[in-house]
A and B are shown apart, each in its own frame.
Chain A
C-alpha cells in the first residue's frame, strides 16, 4: 500500500466508530501520556480526530499520524472513562495496522516481532545466551531489588534498572506439564507469558505451587510463543498470526477447563484479541479462539471466583502491602477486587490502598523503550504514590508492571519490594 488515498479509504471504515466521540475530553485526565506531555494529540480525543482527518484528506502526513498513534500505552484508561463508550482500543488497533503498514514497521521492531517472538527457539536461545551475558554487561546497582543497570546497553534501554535474566527460564526449569485434576476436580492450561517465562520465573513457579496446593491439574506445553500483544500494538498483523497459530496448535492438543495466566496483559490479549485475529488463520482456528474466550481467566480471579479460597483474619503485626492496578486487569477485564482479596488471603499481610492505584505505571513494552522519558515520568508518579502509602511491599498482577515499578523504585533507592500477588500467597503457604 503506497497510495495515501488508499490509506485514507481504509481509515474511512473507522468513521462509524469514531463519529461517536463527542469530544467531551473526559479521556484527558485519565491518560498517562497526556498527564506527562499535556498535548492534545496524545490523548484519545486528539488521536481520534487525527485519524478522522487523515481519512478526510485534511491531514496528509501519515508519518505524523503513525508517530502520534505510537505515543500510547494502549492501557485502555481512555476507553474506560469514555461516556459514549467509543471503542477506542479497537479503533487504535485497526488504525495502527493500516497506518504502520503504510509507513512501514521500523526495521528493528520487525526483526524482534517477526523473527524472535514467533520462533520460540530463537527467542529462547537468545535469552539463554543473553542471561549469563547479561551478568557481564549489567552492573549490580540496588541490592534490595536485585536489579542492575546496564551501562553497555544504555543506548538501547536508557538508564533503566532491570533485573538480570535468570539463568534458566521457566520452560527449562519446569519443562512441560500435564497433571490430572486433583481435589478441586479442575484442570487448567497455564500460560506464563514471556515475562513470566524468561524474567519472573519465581513468580511463575509460585503460580504452579498455588495451583498444586489447591488440587488443580495443569497443562503446560514446553513453551508457548508470546501472546502477541507487542505485535498487535505495533499493528503487525502478520507477526500476530505467526505467534497465534503455534499457540492455538499447542492448546488444541490439551484438555482443560480454564486457561489461566498471571499476566493481566496476556489475559486481555487472549480474551479480546485472539478471537479477533484467529479467523484470519482459518474458520476452525477462529471458532476455537472464540470458544477459549470464556475459559481465559486471570489467576487472581480464578483463586477467588472459581476456587473460592476464603481469607483468614489479618494477624497482628502483618506486613503492610499495597496494590497497583494493572491497566489491562482493571480496565479491560474488570478484575479489581480479586487481587486485593488475594493479598488478604493468608492473614500475613495487611492490605492498604494507595492513592491513584488505578493509574497506569507507564510500562508499555516497546513504548517504554521508544519514549523512555515519558514512560519514566509516568513511572515516577507511581513511585511517589507507592512510597507515600507506607507499604513495605507493592503487589500487582502483571509482570510488565513489575518491571516498570521495580525500575523506578530501584532508581530512587527505595526499600519497597515488588511482588506478584500470587507470590505473596505462595510464600504464605510455607508459613
Chain B
C-alpha cells in the first residue's frame, strides 16, 4: 500500500487532522535530544484515544511499515529518531489523562502520554508523592520514562521509574492487547511482562496505560553543601555516609570545572578552588532528619570536608540547589554543542572515574565538565564542543569510546539512565556478551517477526 493510501486509511481511524504528512510537520519529528543525525519519517500519527494504538499498530504491521513511538522526544540516545525514511512516528502526547489517584491504596493510573511533573503534581494535590524526577520531568512522558527506565536526583533513596511500575497495559507489534500487573502490591499472575516493558525503548510493544506506585511524602527535609579539596575524600564521604546507615534522598556532585563555570555565570560565590562539592538533601520524619543531619555533618568532617554549609530555611535551600540547577545550562552556554554522557560506576570508583575523565579530556584536548548523582555513581561528564568542527567532533567520538572503556573496566555500565537507543547500541556487546545480543534478537524476532518496532534501537535488527 502506498503511503498516501495508508494515510487515508489511518485518517478514518484517528481523523484527518491527526495524520501529518506535510514536509514541515514530518521534519519536526526527525530528531530528539540526542546529538545524532535526524531522519525524516514518512508519516506522523497522533492517536487521541488509547484504544486507537492497537488499531494503528495492526495497520502498520500489516503494511510492513517500521514504527517509532514518541513521547516528548527528550531521550538522549536517539530512541525516537525514525529508523528509516519509510518509518511512521506514533505520538503519544495526546493520550494524556491521569485516570485515577488512589489515596487509600496509594497508586495512580495514567495514560502513557501524561507528563511526569503533571502526575507528580496530581499526586501532590492529594498529599501523595511520585518520587522519580528526571531532569526533564516537566516535559518527559510516563511512557518515555518507563521505556527508558528514567532515573533522577532522588534515585539513591527512592529508586528509579521501574521501582514504581505496578502494572502496564500495552499493544504488541501486531496490535494485540496485553495486560500485566495489577493495582495490588502483590501480583504473580502470569509472566512479569510489565517488567519486560521497562527499559524496552519502544522495541517490544507500545505502552498505553500504567499503574504506578505512590508513597506518602516526607514530612521534613534538610539540605547542605560540603566542600572538598580532594576528589578521593569526597567520594569516601559518599561511601561513609551510606556506611553510617544514612540514605540521603539526593547526593549530587559537581567537579571543579563545573563549579568555576557556574560561579563565573551566576556569581553566587561558590568555592572556586574546591576539587568538588557535594550537595546533600535528607528527608523523612523531622526527628529522623535532625538526627541524620548531625551524623552526616560528623561524617563529612571526619572525611576531610573543608567546609559544610547547612541551609537554614527554604530560601537558603533554594540557593544551595541553584548551583546544581545551573550546572547544565551553564555548561551548555559555553560551546555550541553539548554532549551529555551518562557512564555509571560503583560509588567507590568515582575517584578513578573522575581521574579517567580528566585524562581523556587532556588526551583529546576537550573541555569536560562533570556533575551528577554521586550517591548512584551516575556521573554526567559533559563534553563541550562544536559539532560543525569535524576534527574536534571526531575527537569527541573517540573520547566517548575511551570513557565507556574506563567505566566498564571499573565494573560500571555504559548508561545509568539515558538509554541505549542507536547512540550506544554498538557498545552493548562489550558490556554484556554475544549471547545477550543474540537472546535479545531472538526475543524480538519472536514477538515482532517483521522487525517493525524501533528496529535499530538497542540491538540492530537490520544487522
Contact = CB atoms under 8 A, between A and B. Distances in A.
Contact of A25 (B139, B386, B387): B139
Nearest to B388: A19
Interface string B378-408: 0000000011100000000000000000000
Contacts of B115: 29
Given A23-B32, A64-B23, A65-B24, A84 B338 contact: yes
Nearest to B339: A22
B102 interface: no
A53 interface: yes
Interface stretch (B176-184, B329-337, B367-375): B329-337
A50 B28 contact: yes
A49 to B, nearest CB: 6
Interface stretch (A55-63, A272-280, A385-393): A55-63
Given A59-B24, A61-B24, A85 B329 contact: yes
B267 to A, nearest CB: 16
The main secondary structure of chain A at its interface with chain B is: loop
Among B25, B34, B72, chain A packs the most CB atoms within 10 A around the CB of: B25
Nearest to A47: B28
Among B28, B34, B40, B115, chain A packs the most CB atoms within 10 A around the CB of: B28
Nearest to B338: A22
A23 B328 contact: no
Nearest to B387: A19
Given A40-B29, A58-B27, A25 B93 contact: no
Contacts of A64: 22-24
Given A29-B139, A61-B24, A24 B31 contact: no
A70 to B, nearest CB: 12
Given A40-B73, A59-B24, A28 B32 contact: no
B138 A29 contact: yes
A46 B31 CA distance: 9
Given A24-B74, A25-B74, A64-B22, A83 B31 contact: no
Contacts of A38: 46, 91, 93-94
Interface in B40-74: 40, 46, 72-74
Contacts of B40: 58
Contacts of A83: 328-329, 332-333
The main secondary structure of chain B at its interface with chain A is: loop
A26 B138 contact: yes
Contact of B23 (A49, A61, A84, A85): A61
A90 B98 CA distance: 38
Contacts of B21: none
A19 to B, nearest CB: 4
B33 interface: yes
B368 to A, nearest CB: 16
Contacts of B338: 22, 84
Contacts of A154: none
Contacts of B337: 19, 22
B136 interface: yes
A20 interface: yes
Contacts of A28: 72, 139
Interface residues of B, number: 37
Given A24-B74, A26-B139, A59-B24, A84 B333 contact: yes
Nearest to B325: A83
A4 interface: no
Nearest to A40: B28
A50 B27 CA distance: 7
A25 B333 contact: no
Contacts of B25: 39, 41
Contacts of A50: 24, 27-28
A49 B27 contact: yes
B329 A84 contact: yes
A372 interface: no
Nearest to A34: B93
A424 B211 CA distance: 49
A68 interface: yes
A25 B136 CA distance: 8
Contact of B73 (A25, A26, A61, A68): A25
A85 B94 CA distance: 29
Contacts of A85: 329, 333
Contacts of A67: 24
A77 to B, nearest CB: 13
Given A22-B33, A39-B25, A84 B72 contact: no
Contacts of B33: 22-25
Contacts of A60: 23
B380 to A, nearest CB: 13
A58 B39 CA distance: 11
Nearest to B265: A85
Nearest to A46: B28
B336 A20 contact: yes
A22 to B, nearest CB: 5
Among B24, B333, B388, chain A packs the most CB atoms within 10 A around the CB of: B24
B218 to A, nearest CB: 24
A49 B24 CA distance: 10
Contact of A49 (B28, B138, B139, B333): B28
B443 to A, nearest CB: 31
B138 A53 contact: no
Contacts of B139: 25-26, 28-29
B386 A68 contact: no
Interface in B323-353: 328-329, 332-333, 336-338
A123 B393 CA distance: 56
Interface string A347-385: 000000000000000000000000000000000000000
Nearest to B93: A38
A84 B328 CA distance: 8
Given A41-B28, A49-B27, 13 more contacts: A22-B332, A25-B139, A26-B139, A28-B72, A29-B138, A38-B46, A39-B25, A41-B24, A58-B27, A61-B23, A68-B24, A83-B328, A83-B332
8 contacts: A19-B387, A25-B139, A29-B139, A49-B28, A49-B30, A49-B31, A61-B23, A84-B329
User: 10 tightest CB-CB pairs across the interface, nearest first?
Assistant: A83-B329, A84-B332, A64-B24, A46-B28, A41-B28, A40-B28, A19-B336, A29-B138, A25-B74, A25-B139
